[in-house]
Amino acid sequence: MYQYQSLLECIEAHSRPFVAQGAVANYIPALAEVDPDRFSMALVTVDGQVFSIGDTHTRFTIQSVSKVMTLTLALQRYGESLWERVGKEPSGTAFNSITQLEFEKGIPRNPFINAGAIVTCDALYSRVSAPIHSMLEAFRTQSANAKVIIDKKVAASEYEHRHRNAALAHLMKSFGNFDNHVEEVLKAYFSYCAIELNVIELAKAYSYLSNHGFCQYSNQQLLSSRQTKQLNSLLFTSGLYDAAGDFAYRVGMPGKSGVSGAIIAVAPGRFTVAVQSPRLDKIGNSVAGIEALAKLSELIDFNAF
């Protein structure tokens, strides 16, 4: 049995020097205003134990980490038919690439690049009567905090700077792979990204990924065991954009990052871990977050293989 609290304290000491490396995302003005020196990490085991270090009560918008929940809710409603609209392959290009989407006739490579998340959001929009409220309730229930909110300032800022994402959506619509009003779907998409959690709530919300699709905090089977394995496989190959290969090599866990500096990672059958530190590397992943997860993997001698 690992002494996870002691491990996290060791990881924090290792990772703190990396907090000052990189730069906070500034292409969305509201994201540029955060305290760049934050660092927090939480680990939730499949038997319900919670361990944490750092600024654990500080809230942040989860950004692209929300794409995992978008995919989860869409898989609940569509199953395998969802893959007719979005692929399952690593992109190999920037997360907001337009040229790849054009070349592949409006079918995004995977559900974690922007185009893939937006078309998944469009699919969900068609099957849910109140998509923003439904997503918020999912996070409230699964994080065990009924007071989780959307940072409306961040959502509005992202919507104001939506032009590239709107271009992706309109391009997919031109190929017949988009069903709803682009602007309404984008408002939902940015609202998902602007959901605010702390690092403990983030780890709890995605605890089902390490527990065969079952969330102990909502007492719900969100996905089947097979679907959970498939989702984790996609996270392993595509969750860190074009740094997924390096993350797989260094950390060896399925993971998903966001430009707020948040990252989740999964040790199937053992735990879900979340880390947040705002300064990003040139690809858009948290510098200190990657270091912390690599150190965790080293200390517990973990690799999916």
5-53 residue pLDDT tens: 999 999 999 999 999 999 999 887 878 889 999 999 999 999 999 999 9
Q: What is the mean pLDDT of residues 241-259?
A: 93
Rounded CA separation 9/25 (Å): 27
Please work out, in degrees rounded to the nearest 5, the angle formed at the alpha carbon of residue 297 by the alpha carbons of 213 and 37.
Answer: 95
155-173 residue pLDDT tens: 999 999 999 999 999 999 9
Please work out, in degrees rounded to the nearest 5, the angle formed at the alpha carbon of residue 221 by the alpha carbons of 294 and 199.
Answer: 35
Sign of CA dihedral 208, 202, 90, 155: positive
Q: What is the mean pLDDT of residues 43-64?
A: 96
Across 132-157, b (16+ Cβ under 10 Å) vs e yields beebbebbbbbbbbeebebbeebbeb
Q: According to the model, what pLDDT value does residue 305 have?
A: 66
**Is 305 inside any structural domain?**
no
Q: What is the mean pLDDT of residues 118-125?
A: 98
Is the predicted pLDDT of residue 191 greater than 70, yes or no?
yes
Give 27: exposed, middle or buried? Use CB within 10 Å, 0-12, 13-18, 19+.
Answer: exposed
Is the predicted pLDDT of residue 121 greater than 80, yes or no?
yes
Q: According to the model, what pLDDT value does residue 236 have?
A: 96
Q: How many CA atoms lie within 13 A of 129 on its CB side?
A: 0
Rounded CA separation 221/20 (Å): 40
**Who contacts 160 (Cβ-Cβ below 8 Å, separation ≥6)?**
none
Rounded CA separation 200/261 (Å): 15
**Domain count of the fold of the chain:** 1
Per the CB < 8 A criterion, the answer to whether 242 and 269 are in contact is no
Per the CB < 8 A criterion, the answer to whether 224 and 277 are in contact is no
Indicate the average pLDDT of the chain.
95
Q: Which domain holds residue 267?
A: 4-299
Q: According to the model, what pLDDT value does residue 220 have?
A: 95
**Is 193 inside any structural domain?**
yes
Cα first-last separation, the chain: 20
CATH code for the domain of 289: 3.40.710.10
Residue 1 banded pLDDT, cuts 50, 70, 90: low
Q: What is the mean pLDDT of residues 122-146?
A: 96
Measuring CA to CA, which residue among 276, 270, 285, 303 is closest to residue 1? Answer: 270
User: How is residue 87 annotated by DSSP?
Assistant: -
**Is 272 inside any structural domain?**
yes
In order, the DSSP letters of 224-280 are: -HHHHHHHHHHHHHHTTGGGHHHHHHHT-S-EEE-TTSEEEEEETTTEEEEEE---B
Q: Structure tokens of 182?
A: 């682009």
Give 129: exposed, middle or buried? Use CB within 10 Å, 0-12, 13-18, 19+.
Answer: exposed
**Is 199 inside any structural domain?**
yes
**Who contacts 116 (Cβ-Cβ below 8 Å, separation ≥6)?**
67, 86, 87, 108, 109, 110
